[in-house]
Amino acid sequence: KPRVAAFMKDLDQELWKLGILAKTEHNEAAPSQHELAPIFTTANISADHNQLTMETMQKVARRHNLVCLLHEKPFAG
């Protein structure tokens, strides 16, 4: 999936610029569903990183003509 790989690479670069490190990037069980896990830090910084990560994911997705859904389970099951 070159399109998703390009998105994930771009996202990783954008997050690094913000000082947010992610250790896990892989696909999930549902089609076109992927996971990204930021590296743990203190609670206040983690909350900020999570907010920045979600905003950055949506911004980068638009750049790649993708849609970023941030639901835990967007489908039943």
Would you say residue 76 lies in a domain? no
Would you say residue 7 lies in a domain? yes
- Tell me whether residue 73 is exposed, middle or buried, using C-beta atoms within 10 angstroms of its C-beta: 0 to 12, 13 to 18, 19 or more: exposed
Residues 26-65: pLDDT tens digits?
666 667 778 888 888 899 999 999 999 999 999 999 999 9
Which domain range does residue 24 map to? 2-63
- Kindly give, in sequence order, each residue whose CB lies less than 8 Å from that of residue 12, ignoring residues fewer than 6 positions away: 22, 25
Would you say residue 74 lies in a domain? no
pLDDT-based confidence at 6, cuts 50/70/90?
Answer: very high
Cβ 53 vs Cβ 70: under 8 Å = no
